[in-house]
Every structure is written in structure tokens, then in C-alpha cells.
Amino acid sequence: MAKPTKEQKRELIMLGALRLFSTEGFYTTTIPDIAKELKMSVGNMYNYFKSKDILAKEIIKYISSYLGSELRKINDKDITSKQKIDNIVKIYFETALQKPEMIEYFLRIYLSNREVFKDGCEGMICVTDFVTEIMIFFEEGVKSGELRDQDFFSAFGLFMGYLGGMVFLHGEKVLPEKLDSYVDDISHNIYQALKADEN
């Protein structure tokens, strides 16, 4: 098997760290723990990431980039905003089920430990790939007349807060049904809240 490139190795470290952060917690996981998990020396780990905080910021960018690229595929489709909402909800829940550590990291580490991210991840800098695609989804929906023009954050909060909340409830094992069984209802609710007013 070919030796992984430096870029691939970085990705492997991020994925390993992501696993440990989501199972063991961010503060209790140390760089030596991550090195051990990946069978690397601690010294070598530092060749890739100079500190745990830097690694934390790179991971959120990695997740944002992954979700952003998935959303971009949806944005590029020639379908209605209603269908796009359905697609976005599906992909978000799919990610939460298949790569739970990604959404967990976003909700439980990135949003809950702002002090780690304050330098270098100001505002939405580290999640710009994801937010940009959401902005484009909204903007195109409004331009086509399907969605109502409103403050971006009112719409963003409604959409992402709702999805994040559902994934959180799923993680807490509170939901009586499987997460993906809520896709239709949730898509419908989001569409009802965002669609243009009828004349």
C-alpha cells in the first residue's frame, strides 16, 4: 500500500481526533492520547498540528468543508427550493447517522467551547464553506420568488437550530422514532416557515 501523503495523514489525524473528542470529550483528550490512537509518536503528531487548539480549529474547517461540498451538490441541482430543503434535511440527518462525530463535534465542541475558537475562528470564519452554501440556497430561493425575503439570521437560525436540535435529541436518545423518519415532517415545517407569503 502506498504511503499516505502529508495531506492524507493530516486527514487521518483529524478523523482520529474527531473520534476521540466525541467519545472521550474534548478537554480530557490529549495530544498523546490522539498519537496513541493513531500509533504515532507524539513528536511526529506535532509535525502536523502544533497544538490541540490548532487541531480543533482545523477539524471544524474540515467538517464545514465536508458539509459545504454536500450542500453545494444540492445547490447545483435544478430543483425547487422546497426540494432543496428536503435534500438538505436528508443529508444533515444522514451525516448525523453515518458520521455522528461530525455533527456532535459541531454541536458539543465548536458551539460549546467558544474560548478555544476565539482566535482564528472569529465570527463564522471557520464554518464559511457551510454557511456560504446556506446563504446561496436562501438567496436563490428568494430571487426565484419561492422563499420570503427576510433577515438572514432569522432564517438561518430557524433552519439550522431546528436540525441541530433534532440531532441533539437523537443523541440524547429522547426521540421515540428513528431520526430519518422525521425528514418529511421537518422539511415540510421548514418550507412552511420560509416560503413566500401567498398573495
Partner 1 sequence: MKTKVLWIQGLACNGNAHSFLTYSKLEQFLDDFEFIYHPIIDSKFTLSDIVNNFCECEILLIEGSIADDYKRSHKSIVEIIKLYAPHVKKIVTVGTCATFGGIFKDSPYENSSGFLYLEKEKIDKFLEYEDKVISVSGCPVHPEVLVNTLYMIKDKLELPIDTFHRPKEFFSFTVHNGCTRNEYFEYKVDNHNFGEKEGCMFYDHGCQAPFTNGSCNKILWNEVNSKTRVGQPCMGCTEPEFPRINLYETKKNMGIPQYLPFGVPKRAYLTLSGVAKAFKISRLEEELF
Among 53, 139, 146, 180, binds partner 1 (CB under 8 A): 139
Could you tell me which stretch among 92-100, 111-119, 145-153, 172-180 binds partner 1 (CB under 8 A)?
A: 145-153
What are the residue ranges of helices labelled H in 105-151? 114-117, 128-143
Please report whether residue 152 would count as binding partner 1 according to CB under 8 A: yes
Among 23, 47, 150, 181, binds partner 1 (CB under 8 A): 150
Work out the burial of residue 28: count CB atoms within 10 Å of its CB; fewer than 13 is exposed, 13-18 middle, 19 or more buried: exposed
Could you tell me which stretch among 16-24, 33-41, 50-58, 127-135 binds partner 1 (CB under 8 A)?
A: 127-135
Select from 157, 76, 77, 95 the least CA-distant residue to 124. Answer: 157
Q: How many Å apart are CA 89 and CA 91, to the nearest integer? A: 6
Please report whether residue 186 would count as binding partner 1 according to CB under 8 A: no
Q: C-alpha grid cell for residue 78?
A: 435544478
Binding residues vs partner 1 (CB under 8 A): 122-125, 128-129, 131-132, 135-136, 138-139, 141-143, 147, 149-152, 155
